[in-house]
Amino acid sequence: MFNIWINKQSDDLIGNVNQVESLLIFNLFDKNNKSNVKTDMEQLWRRFGYQSLSNISEDLLILAVSVFSADKRIPRKKSTDNWTRSITIHLPVLEIEKWINVKDDLEKMLGFLSGDEWRFEFRKSESKFRAKKKNEKFKLINSKEFNSVSLFSGGLDSFCGALTLSDKLMHTCYVGFREYNLLTSRQNELFNEIDEAYPTVKKELILFNANPSAPQQKNREKATLGAESSSRSRSFLFLAGAIAVASVIGEGTPVYIPENGFIGVNVPLTTSRNSSCSTRTTHPIFLKSLNRILELVGLNHTISNFYWDKSKGEIVAEHKEKLIFQDNAHKTLSCSHPCLSRYDKVKPPCNCGYCYPCLIRRASFFYIRNDNTTYNENYQLNAEFIYKYSNLQGKASDLRAVLYSLRRYFMHKDDKDYIRTLLISHGTLSVAEIIAYERLYHKSMNELWEMIKSEDLRNGGGLLDYSSMKEMEYV
């Protein structure tokens, strides 16, 4: 059990703090030199000229950054099964009764998202987070000019999502996470290209960050736990930031999270990935749960994914004739580790070409027969790559999992019950969702299959032989 104590102000260490054993402390103080969570998330409201958020919007944001900090700074290897952690967060909130009312729903939702056991102990707070200053750096944004908020990661789906919203003349504030300087530059570059392509549509990009360092112990010493790379809760923080912006724009402002439905429902590629190894950022169960919590606490903003029933290939096909897409789609970053290419002396950020998100990306571009992406040329999709990186967590692990998944698919593609069982492996879906995802699953698996066949032919063969797949298409 890990106990996390969150402070918003330096005088916040009160109450029964000394009664909690093995306490780990994250400070969110006004002065960054006193905080062990470096963040500029106050820009989410200061860019509009506000000194603070509404109480309930601030509570959600503080909650999300607290969960993210714990997620990043408690390694999964410290848990009994090397994955599932038991974490209790002692959190100061302004609207304590509302959060007590949704406590069970909140714990269940985050458990589904990250695969951990979350507990919350709320305490009443009167202090507002970084509410003493106004924006002094940037030109103020007029909130009245906007009618929607959308996440903008710099990935292919969020780029296409921005094109879709612009085509519909939606005046959108895009919210992104500033994780690395190289990624920030790419996000700004893509946004500026969209802005130039749609000059009559109002749009703005707001980037924020949160970088937790090691938590303190009660004796003020840093805890020596290490860090965690999986960060399944990151999307919750992104969405909380988007909700903060939506609350500034006005009551009922919608929030969009554009992502292809194949990743959203995320059928496990293998049996071993039927847990939180599979991201659940846009899974309908997570989004429904989060929207329900927002409704109960009085945040009248609905989060939705307008690409939920489309494959990545279908999404790019919608935009392939646009000049803005043709000139910039290859610059988007789908990769799960775009900056690691520096170890291969390839200038980052770069799509590796072999991780699961990159494989789906390649399949989508192959669907439209046009991929100008520069992948890490040190790795080719062939049997040699698989055998060279044969360890369980090696570079070829995602490709092997995709090949296994394709083999399983062709063995059972006509078995409706089997396919539907895969679709509900993470939880219950409605009949309408099952029907839509069933079509989507067939479509996306065939996109992957066509790309794999093409890469196998292009790179000298052997890839299909590896998994005895040559005859599977006709099974």
Cα dist. 214→3, 27, 88, 372 in Å?
A: 14, 11, 17, 41
- What is the chain's length? 475
Beta strand 203-208 with 117-124 is unpaired
In whole angstroms, give the CA distance from residue 175 to residue 141: 13
pTM: 0.94
Residues 164, 181 contacting (CB under 8 angstroms)? no
Residue 185 is inside which H or E element, if any? helix 181-197
Place of tokens 């090691």: 214
Residue 25 in 3-state DSSP?
strand
- Count other Cβ atoms within 10 Å, centred on residue 464: 20
What is the tens place of the pLDDT at every residue in 278-326?
578 999 999 999 999 999 999 999 999 999 999 999 999 999 999 999 9
405-423: burial string, b at 16+ Cβ within 10 Å, e else: bbbbbbeebeeeeebeebb
Q: How far apart are CA 397 and CA 106, in angstroms?
A: 33
**Residue 283: its pLDDT value, please?**
96
Residue 9 has pLDDT above 90, yes or no: no
| Closest C-alpha among 111, 91, 88, 101 to residue 293 | 101
125 close to 94: Cβ distance less than 8 angstroms: yes
Residues 245-263, mean pLDDT to the nearest whole number: 98
pLDDT at 474: 41
The residues spanned by each domain of the chain are 334-474
The token pair that represents 370 in the structure block: 């046009």
What span, in angstroms and rounded, lies between the C-alpha atoms of 9 and 12? 5
pLDDT of residue 180: 80
Does pLDDT of 148 surpass 80? Answer: yes
